[in-house]
Structure 1
């Protein structure tokens, strides 16, 4: 869909900002919940006695639920009414936080995040539709920017509060804050103008099933690349296909079903029937470039937000508060940039801003790969996180604004659905993929270092399962070697040294991989709109 469609003329009348307060806190609710999960890794690992990768499944479960249901949520919102559906799902989101607070096992936590994700699947398109309904022109751009800044400030506050509470009390009180946000949003929802919805809207059940299955298969496949095997099936795989791991098979089948969804939707549109999501909002290369850019930027953010807490809490054995301090430069920069980037829309086009932002994120990740050490508070590391945050903050607001402003108000729900599917699939895939990559790289690094280390003989190595290497703290490794092997104190010290060196090199390789992913988006970003705000759009 191009941006040169006929639209009603904008008026100079300014709308009240009160509805935006509700929208802002609703975005804070979702983003705070997601940001609270990585900082809670250490506490949940200790409470539930599981591996960090098992805890990361809570993040993936949230992403799966949102991405699989958001298109259905968009259509149900149009049919039932955005305000009514909004109130219902904010209530269910509150229930999910209660489930997190009383969790007795990691399974409870995964279920709680699945409920939260299902609720967010309705909130995401509702926010876009309600913004389009309440604001126009400059106010609409500012409202969209506020959602980007809400994501950033939620991340910053979740890391800070979660870190402080996690160190002093535990991880559960963090989700009490989520519950408080849900109550606030529910109360503010009564300030919104009620709507009746459109009962005549037909919901495409076939498309909903296709996209739901595709998203689940893709995310489960990516999430289990490490546990089940990247290609050949490991012992933990539930089944295999002639020795092949089910993880890549699920990814391929998910891609095929995803293509079937697009074919079915286009066929339905050609026949004049209402589709689950109107693909005309992706009718031009500019909108498709925006979606691709959104996927990459969210995947990178999710990967970094998982990697840094994993490394600080599990690898270094430091507190959640240390994690929050390490992430403050990044989250604060994202927040400030997301707020201020809308001010340069009249000077620079989305194409220039997007390209420059991806160049910044690529340079920052390469820089971090070379300068990162076991101390995250070094000036060189902080500079890298700040530069990455500038690029990330600009992109978060930019690509969303391109999609919202390119579509008429009647298609705002479809834009919200595409945004929700893209962001949450990217978040789940980013978290799952970086986890699998880091563990795989760690396994190769440890095996290589052990084989060449003179103080680690073969008979000792045979007592350790190197085929099941995972991230572990020095204290945890020392305890395991002391109680479960015949290692001498000198050999344990040598193993600790190998562990430290391998983990740091793994982190560096992981950052370089993220830099490569960021670089792949530079050229597509050149397809973003080339006109500045107020200029005549390209045809």
Structure 2
């Protein structure tokens, strides 16, 4: 068979194998999107605080971020198809753990296993598409992964909300199990990608980046439980009275710096690094990574906050949460799909700056107009504007990274993208939870201690050292066990409502400040337009405005 005949056959390849890869992306995205909707159900089933239940979200992102670079090398060494099938089975096992979990620890373990599996699925999808499709079909197949992520995320809120309201949160993960089974069956229609045993996995770099990400995430996730600076009673240990949480964050940053030092040294010695750092060689690529981290972290924070308030604070159903998320998720989906049409008219720099201005303005707006009712027109408007900025940025920054490097480094871009997005998601969820609880705790202590109708003898019966988000009904039940009178209980519930809303408003304003800090680095994104990019991914030669810094001069 001649080369031209083989190329024609590749162009006419069946789309059936792609259905399996499409469903593999749906598998991961549906699982992640189902977790926030399941938050209220897990809190009720396991009897834990919402910040503890949200650890399932954190640990998934943590596992992907810590292992995706290693996962890419494992796939290259052992063969993508063989490893892909193995991790699909592991993902199915993770859904079984979620379905039968008797405690929150089992659910956390299930998501850790899912995250470890996804760390290999993410790079495997691109590799298997490249092996099974060529030319126009390949471009269409890669583009469909973005659609799968958006569609599955949007549908998970509806399906998860409906099931969570009518049946419970566990059946949602039966759907995940069924999807995993379909992906495994369809994987036998894929062509095998042979492995290369000669590929060397940099174990030292893997340990450094993995440990660094674990410490960073655990530190951020436990700032509230263990203490922001001084150790709380719930901390597992302390060092001279200092909480282990901030120490973990500092140590994680140090290990991250050691990873970069080790990788540069290994590259200089002519050895294959865990990831090629040349993909971050210029301020433009570094600005894109920073922008990606900020926008994904803010998205995770919003996805955590809305279910927290609708299910835990307001005591509403999971379906109510899905309805509350419609403006945000639908806007993200539409914007992420349509923003590519603007690339020929506006450079990434303009789109990036404008989008961060939108997210900042939307968060400031929400900080002033949000109430305990998410269905008000001002709140919906704020979520829509934030969704426009978020959807545009997530698509934009990945395109910037892919365009800026040669095609042979696309795998390294995928590793950095996976690490950045999942670390940002974990840190965004954990930090928002810690921030809201800290604001709530401060507000409750101030309001109760200064309240004229809540005497000191009643306040002493309440544990103000472990304030967390509770519904009004749960608060009434807790206060019924004290000496509080009905009038005092009503006053305490009013204080709880006021401080919860105040914490929410301040939380949005803090997110707005973080978003504003990203406007400046967004100005370092490339100024080229799409028609000025050559086929090798080098955008330095034909800059639309001529004001970018050439890579060799950085």
| TM-score, scaled relative to structure 1 | 0.94
Equivalent residue for 1:530, pick from 527, 530, 551: 527
State the partner residue of 2:216: 218
Is 1:132–1:412's contact at 8 Å kept on the other side of the alignment?
no
State the partner residue of 2:420: 422
State the partner residue of 1:273: 271
- CA displacement at 1:423 relative to structure 2: 0.9
Is 2:11–2:135's contact at 8 Å kept on the other side of the alignment?
no
Equivalent residue for 1:304, pick from 302, 305, 320: 302
SS for the counterpart of 1:534 is: helix
Is 2:132–2:190's contact at 8 Å kept on the other side of the alignment?
no
Equivalent residue for 1:505, pick from 502, 506, 518: 502
State the partner residue of 2:546: none
Is 1:127–1:416's contact at 8 Å kept on the other side of the alignment?
no
2-structure distance, mates of 1:423, 1:447:
36
- CA displacement at 1:285 relative to structure 2: 1.6
State the partner residue of 1:286: 284
State the partner residue of 1:194: 192
2-structure distance, mates of 1:535, 1:122:
34
State the partner residue of 1:4: none
State the partner residue of 1:243: 241
2-structure distance, mates of 1:394, 1:145:
15
| Alignment map for 1:244-393 (pairs within 5 Å) | 244-393=242-391
| TM-score, scaled relative to structure 2 | 0.92
State the partner residue of 1:409: 407
Is 2:76–2:196's contact at 8 Å kept on the other side of the alignment?
yes
2-structure distance, mates of 1:21, 1:142:
12
2-structure distance, mates of 1:450, 1:467:
13
| Alignment map for 1:115-126 (pairs within 5 Å) | 115-126=113-124
2-structure distance, mates of 1:128, 1:145:
11
RMSD over aligned Cα atoms:
1.9
1-structure distance, mates of 2:276, 2:347:
26
Aligned length: 528
| Alignment map for 1:82-231 (pairs within 5 Å) | 82-131=80-129, 143-231=141-229
Is 2:53–2:104's contact at 8 Å kept on the other side of the alignment?
yes
1-structure distance, mates of 2:133, 2:283:
26
- CA displacement at 1:145 relative to structure 2: 4.6
Is 2:221–2:434's contact at 8 Å kept on the other side of the alignment?
yes
State the partner residue of 1:6: none
- CA displacement at 1:418 relative to structure 2: 0.9
Distance 1:102 1:471, change over 3 A: same
1-structure distance, mates of 2:479, 2:12:
66
Is 1:141–1:342's contact at 8 Å kept on the other side of the alignment?
no
2-structure distance, mates of 1:355, 1:135:
36
State the partner residue of 1:7: none
- CA displacement at 1:337 relative to structure 2: 1.2
Equivalent residue for 1:79, pick from 49, 63, 77: 77
- CA displacement at 1:472 relative to structure 2: 0.3
Bigger CA drift: 415-424 or 485-494?
Answer: 415-424
- CA displacement at 1:189 relative to structure 2: 2.6
- CA displacement at 1:343 relative to structure 2: 1.8
Bigger CA drift: 76-85 or 295-304?
Answer: 76-85
SS for the counterpart of 2:388 is: helix
2-structure distance, mates of 1:336, 1:189:
30
- CA displacement at 1:27 relative to structure 2: 1.9
2-structure distance, mates of 1:42, 1:374:
17
2-structure distance, mates of 1:362, 1:423:
20
Q: Structure 1, residues 108-136: CA drift from partner, whole Å, max 9, x if none?
A: 10110010000001011223334555678
Is 1:78–1:198's contact at 8 Å kept on the other side of the alignment?
yes
Equivalent residue for 1:34, pick from 29, 32, 35: 32
2-structure distance, mates of 1:55, 1:257:
28
1-structure distance, mates of 2:247, 2:67:
23
- CA displacement at 1:150 relative to structure 2: 2.6
Q: Structure 1, residues 377-411: CA drift from partner, whole Å, max 9, x if none?
A: 11111111111111111111111122223333322
What are structure 2's unaligned runs of at least 5 residues? 1-6, 534-538, 541-549
- CA displacement at 1:340 relative to structure 2: 1.3
**Higher RCO structure (Cα 8 Å, ≥6 apart):** 1
